[in-house]
Amino acid sequence: MSAPSREIHLLRYVPGHSYLHRMWAGTKLLAVVAIDIALVARPGWPAQAVVWVLALTAFFTSGVPATALPRPPRWFVLLVGLDCLLSIGSGGSPSIHLAGISIELGGMLEWWRITSLALLVLAMATLVAWTTPMAELTPAMSKLVTPLRWLRLPADEVVLAISLSVRCLPLLLEEFRVLQAARRMREPTLPQGLGGRIRYAHDVLVTALASSLRRAKEMAEAIEARGGAEGFTTEPVRLTGIDAAALAVVAVTVAAVALLG
Amino acid sequence: MIRLEDVGHVYAAGTPWARRALRGVDLTIGPGERLLVLGPNGSGKSTLAWVVAGLLAPVEGTATLHGRPLGDVPGATAMTFQHARLQLFRPTVEADVRFGTRLDNGAVDNALEMVGLDPTVFRSRRVDELSGGQQRRVALAGALVRRPRLLVLDEPLAGLDLPGRRLLTTVLARLNREAEVAIMVVTHDVEDAYRLADRALVLRAGQVVADDDVGAVVGEAQP
């Protein structure tokens, strides 16, 4: 029997009652955006350390089990490892001496810093996804972009595009799963060699792209038929003590990043 | 003969999103048999179809064809999925039916004729210009060209108009009769049950709750 396919769980909600689950979705989005902007502006190690502590504390107190953590496929880990090795070629100080050979580690340290930053951004987005039902994201985003409406910018269209992208992700993954299964049914043995693998990827990706474009067109027509992107219903926001405390922690964190980074 | 013994499957096992789809399923499908799998949405029908087609290894129990694990017998089973557009990988009908094989034009034409499409008319047609029903029959031809012993069809009549449903039902009956292909049809619609199968199996919450002659099962299911 063939091995079961590795299932992908992106942006899936884990039900719970922790303070993160009870927090308004807008507070979480605001926190992630503020910290991300600060981190990208000041991406030094001390600043990252502060945010890592915050992210890990949030994870361990969120009630989300460790089994929710993504398990990247082996090929991905190998590629990242190879990338790390290649970064040594960039050179730079400091350097170490091994068996009479001098190895400059500056490039690799820079690689670690950027990779850590990427992981941190991903970790915070994942925390929001784990603790926020999808249905709460669109009204929260709609509320947060209110200043754009004052400037007569297409805020509703932007919110709609983002929320549809997030909501369609599971659909896309399911279509991709069916596509791969259909491909396996038609050609049960995976093609050998680089040419065969490229042809395989081409078949699946082109069909996925064609199907997604068709689905997107149908969805756009359905939205137009129902009156377009206007008229988001936003419930009044009820901020609690948890939100106030979270925003205070975020303000302190952003200040620490700005100072330390 | 396909045999499933105490088959169970859990999606996302070991994660907070673990979901049991099948539990303790025992099933045997003989040569040339026509089996209908019925059940409400989320009852495990599609998971069962994937297991029988050899696309999914169950986490519990065994699924075998003449004693060999199903996944180790490529080409013995074929499956068509609900959305035909996800199964068409080449721009023209001829290229798509031949896809993944080294067959000549005669075999392609034969497969097209089996599904009721005239090769002289359809061979060079573009697949994206065909109707939904025609696309479904091209996908079926692509599955049949490999000469499987069992054909698994997931919701084959969904989205088709009445003439389309009648035509596909006739095609399937002829395939079963002339090519002696066993057929397993997965559906939640009992309307065409009598014309599609002789035996029916009902799934509920991943478990088989009925497995009998189609008349007995459908008669019981309807008020």
Q: Which tens digits make up the pLDDT trace of B72-90? A: 887 789 999 988 888 888 8
B54 and A2 within 8 Å at the Cβ level: the answer is yes
The whole-angstrom distance between A181's CA and the closest CA on chain B is 7
Judge whether residue B191 has pLDDT over 80: no
The whole-angstrom distance between B71's CA and the closest CA on chain A is 4
Interface contact B132, partner A, CB < 8 A: no
Chain A residues in contact with B11 (beta carbon < 8 A): 7
SS3 at position B68: strand
B57 and A3 within 8 Å at the Cβ level: the answer is yes
Bridge pairing between strands B60-65 and B207-213: unpaired
Q: Which of B7, B47, B50, B55 to mutate to test the interface with A (most CBs of A within 10 A)?
A: B55
Please report which residue ranges of chain B form alpha helices under DSSP H: 45-52, 93-98, 105-114, 119-122, 132-144, 162-178, 193-196, 214-221
Interface contact B216, partner A, CB < 8 A: no
Domain boundaries, chain A: 19-260
Q: In the predicted model, what is the mean pLDDT of residues A137-155?
A: 89
Each residue's pLDDT tens digit, B158-173: 877 888 788 888 888 8
Chain B residues in contact with A9 (beta carbon < 8 A): 12, 15, 17
- ipTM, interface predicted TM-score of the complex: 0.84
Give, as one character, the DSSP assignment of residue B155.
S
Residue A152 CB neighbours (<10 A): 7
Question: What pLDDT is attached to residue A96?
Answer: 85
Q: In the predicted model, what is the mean pLDDT of residues B183-204?
A: 85
Each residue's pLDDT tens digit, A157-167: 888 888 888 88
Chain B residue with Cα closest to A130: B16
Each residue's pLDDT tens digit, A39-53: 999 999 999 999 999
Instruction: Output the six-digit token pair for B106.
Output: 């005669």
Question: What pLDDT is attached to residue A229?
Answer: 63
B86 and A7 within 8 Å at the Cβ level: the answer is no
CA distance A106 to B206: 56
| Averaged pLDDT score across all residues of chain A | 87
Residue A4's pLDDT band, with cuts at 50, 70 and 90, is: very low
Strand order across the beta sheet in which B182-186 lies? B77-80, B150-154, B182-186, B34-38, B199-204, B207-213
Q: Considering Cα of B24, then A176, then B181, then B65, what sign does the dihedral take?
A: negative
Chain A residues in contact with B14 (beta carbon < 8 A): 67
Question: What pLDDT is attached to residue A185?
Answer: 86
Interface of A with B (CB under 8 A): 1-5, 7, 9, 12, 14, 64-65, 67-68, 175, 178-179, 181-189, 203, 207, 210-211, 214
Q: Which of A185, A200, A209, A211 to mutate to test the interface with B (most CBs of B within 10 A)?
A: A185
Which of A69-73, A135-139, B192-196 has the lowest average pLDDT? Answer: B192-196
B81 and A178 within 8 Å at the Cβ level: the answer is yes
Chain B residues in contact with A64 (beta carbon < 8 A): 16
Nearest in space to A165 (alpha carbons), one of A11, A9, A7: A11
Question: What pLDDT is attached to residue B114?
Answer: 85
- Smallest Cβ–Cβ distance between B69 and the set A1, A9, A65 belongs to A1
Judge whether residue A5 has pLDDT over 70: no
* Alpha-carbon torsion angle A225, A227, A232, A233, nearest 10: -90
Q: Please tell me the pTM assigned to this model.
A: 0.82
SS3 at position B71: helix
B100 and A187 within 8 Å at the Cβ level: the answer is yes
Interface contact B2, partner A, CB < 8 A: no
Question: What pLDDT is attached to residue A234?
Answer: 64
Question: What pLDDT is attached to residue A230?
Answer: 62
The whole-angstrom distance between A186's CA and the closest CA on chain B is 6
Chain B residues in contact with A189 (beta carbon < 8 A): 74
Judge whether residue A111 has pLDDT over 50: yes
Nearest in space to A170 (alpha carbons), one of B54, B53, B12, B30: B12
CA distance B204 to A229: 40
* A102-120 burial code (b ≥16 CB/10 A, e <16): eebbebbbebeeeebbeeb
Chain B residues in contact with A214 (beta carbon < 8 A): 85
Q: Considering Cα of A7, then A8, then A12, then A14, what sign does the dihedral take?
A: positive
- Domains contained in chain B, CATH given: 2-217 (3.40.50.300)
Residue A1's pLDDT band, with cuts at 50, 70 and 90, is: very low
Q: Considering Cα of A98, then A100, then A101, then A105, what sign does the dihedral take?
A: positive
- Smallest Cβ–Cβ distance between A65 and the set B16, B143, B146 belongs to B16
- Smallest Cβ–Cβ distance between A9 and the set B17, B85, B142 belongs to B17
A1 and B59 within 8 Å at the Cβ level: the answer is no
Q: How many CB pairs under 8 A join A and B?
A: 81
Judge whether residue A149 has pLDDT over 50: yes
B89 and A183 within 8 Å at the Cβ level: the answer is yes
Judge whether residue B190 has pLDDT over 50: yes
Higher pLDDT, B55 or B103: B55
